[in-house]
Amino acid sequence: MNLESGSISRLVAELSLAERHAREGAARELFRRGRELAESAIAKWRAEPEIAKLLSNDATVGIAVMPAHFSAVRMALGNPRLAQVPPDQDAMEFEWDAGDGAHLDILTTREPGGTGAIARFLAKMGEGIQQVEFLTSDVERATELIRARFGIAAIYPQTRAGADGTRVNFLLTSTPDGKRILIELVEAPK
């Protein structure tokens, strides 16, 4: 994701600062940038009434970080609860509400050098905005409508288990100016 990589890297590095105000400011800016990019990419989805009805306006921006940085960010935040990620997925994560409506998921690989999605992202792109999540009331229906109306295939052929009992699927899409963004559709447990 080519988002002024230097400044994104700096903001990601600031997530583990001891000073709360600076740490939260970096988190809110990363959220703003990720959300802005995602909304640009999915504006055409939101213009379709049936899809718009299925997608929440709330978003969570997923920030991928190296394992050592993950531990440092988590420690700076007082060791928030780790999400329960399915064992077959090479990932660890925790949620962070940074204030002013800015929600982040801090993500890392369980196995440095592993083959999971987060490990591959870190190896290719380094630390940064990995995905933007939107809640949906029906992940299968939303995924099917997006595929049928916009020709965007989901990353996984079937909805899969996500963290903390959610059901998820992912779609790689682009903004009108060609920037790529991974969108995660998340259905909360019933």
Helix and strand counts by DSSP (H, E) for the chain: 6, 7
- Give the domain range for residue 11: 5-187
pLDDT in tens, 148-179: 999 999 999 999 999 999 999 999 999 999 99
CATH no. for residue 85?
3.10.180.10
Say how many domains are in the chain: 1
Locate 163 and state its tokens.
């963290």
**Given this model, what pLDDT does residue 5 score?**
44
Please tell me the distance from the alpha carbon of residue 80 to that of residue 94, in angstroms, as a whole number: 7
Please tell me the distance from the alpha carbon of residue 44 to that of residue 150, in angstroms, as a whole number: 9
Residue 94 has pLDDT above 80, yes or no: yes
Exposure letters 35-73 (e unless 16+ CB within 10 A, then b): bebbbbbbeebeeeeebeebbeeebbbbbbbebebbebb
Contact status, residue 179 vs residue 1, Cβ threshold 8 Å: yes
Average pLDDT of every residue of the chain: 94
pTM of the predicted model as reported, rounded to 2 decimal places: 0.94
**Given this model, what pLDDT does residue 4 score?**
45
**Given this model, what pLDDT does residue 66 score?**
97
Please tell me the distance from the alpha carbon of residue 111 to that of residue 113, in angstroms, as a whole number: 6
pLDDT in tens, 13-62: 999 999 999 999 999 999 999 999 999 999 999 999 999 999 999 999 99
> What angle, rounded to 10 degrees, do the helices at 5-13 and 20-46 form?
130
When pLDDT is cut at 50, 70 and 90, the band that residue 83 belongs to is: very high
